[in-house]
Amino acid sequence: MSNKWVKTKKETVTYIQNKGGPTLGYSDSSGINIIMEDGFAFKDLNRNGKLDKYEDWRLPAEERAKDLASQMSIEQIAGLMLYSRHQAVPASNGFFPAAYNGKSYSESGAKPYDLSDEQIAFLTKDHLRHVLLTSVESPEIAARWNNNVQALAEGVGLGIPANNSSDPRHGSDSSKEYNAGAGGAISMWPETLGFAATFDPELVQRFGEIAAKEYRALGLATALSPQIDIATDPRWARFDGTFGEDSKLSADLARAYIDGFQTSTEEGVNADGWGAGSVNAMVKHWPGGGSGEGGRDAHFAYGKYAVYPGNNFEEHLVPFLDGAFKLSGGTEKASAVMPYYTISYNQDPVNGENVGNSYNAYIVGDLLRRKYGYDGVVCTDWGITDDLGPDISRLFPGGRSWGVEQGYTVAERHYKALMAGVDQFGGNNDVGPILDAYRIGVEEHGEAYMRRRFEQSAVRLLKNMFRIGLFENPYCDVDVTERIVGNADYMTAGYEAQLKSVVMLKNKGQILPLPNRKTVYIPTRYRPAGTNWMGFPTEAVEGYPVNLEVVRKYFNVTDDPEVADLALVFITGADSGSGYSKADAEAGGNGYVPISLQYKPYTAEHAREMSIAGDEREVLNRSYKGKTICSTNATDLEAVLKAKEMMKGKPVIVSLQLSKPTIVAEFESAADAIVVAFGVQDQAILDILVGKSEPSGLLPMQMPANMKTVEEQLEDVPHDMEVHIDTEGNAYDFAYGLSWNGVIVDERTKHYGKSR
């Protein structure tokens, strides 16, 4: 029988194109041979000289996964259950120490795409196959690093490839200039909250399609996104990673996002939508983490509790059930789910446990698995099995084992999560605790039971790799990578999305759009030294908050308000920190302080007398009533008010960068126009201001009138605040925005507005 394939070679990778089938790619260094059957070519990944089911690309992913799982040792399956700590390329740029042949990166002479000693160890010794990437030096280096990882993985054991992944990486660099026809390191889009402000599922799906092509060209096969928690508490630090507070909008955008990533547009797509262009989406965070008490975040012990004073737990499931698990593109459901760190307080009616969601057999097993029929991968959030660190006000070092901090070993935590229905452990490079958990299970249930349980997780994990063609060709063609990632068309699509995400809140006297070449005064911005979200110190910063080179292409810039035609003030939303004060605790307090959304000092007169959640091992009553907090960027408010004074009646335009709602009442009356952005380039704001593009964004959340309504709203309920009404009589409510013609009323506001 004549061959039905064509063989080529590029650098160190050999490619075999099967006629009517997939392209195989394998490294010269891996020792892989090719098996011929019926004229087609197959990779002999386990080197046994025969075609195993898992090597036969003609078979369904489920059948292949079951065959491979049955051949794997417990050690290999345990390695498959690992998801690495954050890795950078080169590794020396990351959070953790990295050596190359026992030397530092600078001393070793290693290339930036070489594997570190630690990476080689976890790929070979610990059998790890899921790698989380953070920064990469360039697309070319990312592609070459991927090829080195895949060559190593292909050459050992059963030839299981690496499933490399990334958190969202398409955010915009505000200072960069957009030029039509020019490319970049990767296409730049608005933040997730900015996508929500477009109220446009088609745009979000287009992003997913483009991002998937760029991911695969970088060697990334899984996206640790989207984050579809409904952000029902306006104080939450991760508000900007969500699609806002509305469950229907979040569901529709989640569906569009995942369809874009998972539905392959490459040739040879399966009937179910999966193919070589697909990227697995790991949707997060089940069952929703947007209702942390007092707005605190569960990365920290002081924010471990999600509370439901409005008895609104079910609505937080809507983006999953009606969005992520009800796709339109054929792949049916998001391929993986990540539970959040939170303890969903008093939401377990079966066992009555208040433990982190990944440990909760009701939250994962009864609800997600059985009631809602989810059989994809469940992966914990990062670092949930580690012991606690010495300082709860810092993110590192230490783990986030909420509810099982005491009375459990690291191995016992792994076992508890496995028994709850978890398949994989985020942020764990070490196979040892999973093997210990296996032994605990053998003692309790017997070896046959635990073997079945491990194979169950292995099949789920392997299916995600088979469906997207990793076993056939996990390699990147560097020339293709450089052609695809950040190409001009993708950069343009991202920039157009940024424009559509900008919301105009106020336009008194139709001051906008502005004529070109006006002379503008732009105040500098000052940020005092402080502490960042992770708990590490930050230096004081002073300077212009915008790229003046870009501004000068639109306006004349002056430092003298007297000669300026108008003031252009760039500010960010009020930031008072995370809701915990180490100094308060050291002074004898409970450590808990308000999270304020106003710039001026705030005293929590309307806070609860008694917190909803707490535990006697730490602090039972976490109330912060009567305590005062100051924002770290009060100078932003001063900049607006001072500009108003100095301009002596001339217009003041405010560009407000938001990551969550803020109290605009403190400065709104001093502004003639306000535009809101959610992570865009400076140029996009300027294009709106001068009328090159008309504002069309809508608020994906409410803007509260004051802190009293913030304190009195219920953490788990959306749309329950009194909103700000400006000097023009407009209410800054969900789905509000202005165009040049006034308040926007269109199909989006009719479909998603509060009157629906």
Domain boundaries defined on the chain? 69-172+183-484, 488-577+631-752, 578-630
Place of tokens 């997600």: 368
Q: Is the pLDDT of residue 747 over 70?
A: yes
Per-residue pLDDT, 531 = 83
Q: Is the pLDDT of residue 574 over 60?
A: yes
For 654-708, give the secondary structure using H, E and C.
EEEECCCCCCHHHCHHHCCEEEEECCCCHHHHHHHHCCCCCCCCCCCCCCECCHH
Which has the higher per-residue pLDDT, 97 or 630?
630
What is the number of other CB atoms lying within 10 angstroms of the CB of residue 532? 9
DSSP characters for 380-447? PPTTSSSPP-S-TTSSSSS---TT-SSS--HHHHHHHHHHHT--BEET---SHHHHHHHHHHHHHH-H
Per-residue pLDDT, 572 = 98
363-378 per-position pLDDT tens digit:
999 999 999 999 999 9
Q: Are both 69-172+183-484 and 488-577+631-752 of the same fold? A: no
How large is the average pLDDT for residues 260-284?
A: 89
Instruction: Report DSSP state, residue 181.
Output: T
Q: Is the pLDDT of residue 504 over 60?
A: yes
247's enclosing H/E stretch is helix 247-262
In CATH, what number does 488-577+631-752 get? 3.40.50.1700
Alpha-carbon span 129 to 134, nearest angstrom: 16
Alpha-carbon span 71 to 54, nearest angstrom: 10
User: Which spans in 22-104 are helix H?
Assistant: 61-71, 74-80
Q: Are 524 and 252 in contact (CB under 8 A)?
A: no
Torsion of CA 117, 121, 124, 130, to 10 degrees: -100
Please, what is the Cα angle at 173 between 167 and 178, to 5 degrees? 125
Phi-psi region of 738 (alpha: psi -120 to 50; beta: other; left: phi over 0): beta
Alpha-carbon span 228 to 518, nearest angstrom: 42
276-314 per-position pLDDT tens digit:
999 999 999 999 999 999 999 999 999 999 999 999 999
How large is the average pLDDT for residues 219-234?
A: 98
* Average pLDDT across the chain, whole number: 96
Q: What end-to-end distance do the CA atoms of the chain give, in Å? A: 64
At 155, list the tokens. Answer: 């050459």
Per-residue pLDDT, 419 = 98
Report the catalytic residues. Answer: 246, 381
CA of residue 64 relative to chain centroid, distance: 31
- Among the CATH numbers 3.40.50.720, 3.50.50.60, 3.20.20.300, 1.10.10.10, which is that of 69-172+183-484? 3.20.20.300
Cis peptide before 112 (omega within 30 of 0): no
Per-residue pLDDT, 726 = 98
Cα distances from 446 to residues 257, 440, 443, 450, 452, in angstroms, run 42, 9, 6, 7, 10
Per-residue pLDDT, 2 = 72
Q: Is the pLDDT of residue 465 over 90?
A: yes
How large is the average pLDDT for residues 524-547?
A: 89
For 452, counting Cβ atoms within 10 Å of its Cβ (0-12 exposed, 13-18 middle, 19+ buried), the class is exposed
Per-residue pLDDT, 756 = 55
Closest residue by Cα to residue 8 from 24, 22, 21, 19:
24
Q: Are 250 and 318 in contact (CB under 8 A)?
A: yes
Torsion of CA 330, 485, 129, 339, to 10 degrees: -60
Place of tokens 């307080």: 345
Per-residue pLDDT, 248 = 98
389-420 per-position pLDDT tens digit:
988 888 888 899 999 999 999 999 999 999 99
For 188-227, give the secondary structure using H, E and C.
CCCCHHHHHHHCCHHHHHHHHHHHHHHHHHCCCCEECCCE
How large is the average pLDDT for residues 499-515?
A: 98
Alpha-carbon span 116 to 102, nearest angstrom: 9
552-568 per-position pLDDT tens digit:
999 999 999 999 999 99
Per-residue pLDDT, 755 = 62
Cα distances from 571 to residues 68, 265, 622, 664, 708, in angstroms, run 55, 41, 32, 11, 23
Q: Is the pLDDT of residue 267 over 70?
A: no
Per-residue pLDDT, 565 = 98
Entry pTM: 0.98
Q: Are 128 and 431 in contact (CB under 8 A)?
A: yes
DSSP characters for 593-609? -----SSS-EE-TTS-S
How large is the average pLDDT for residues 742-753?
A: 97
Alpha-carbon span 653 to 649, nearest angstrom: 12
Pairing outcome for strands 738-739 and 742-743: antiparallel
Instruction: Report DSSP state, residue 259.
Output: H
Q: Is the pLDDT of residue 573 over 60?
A: yes
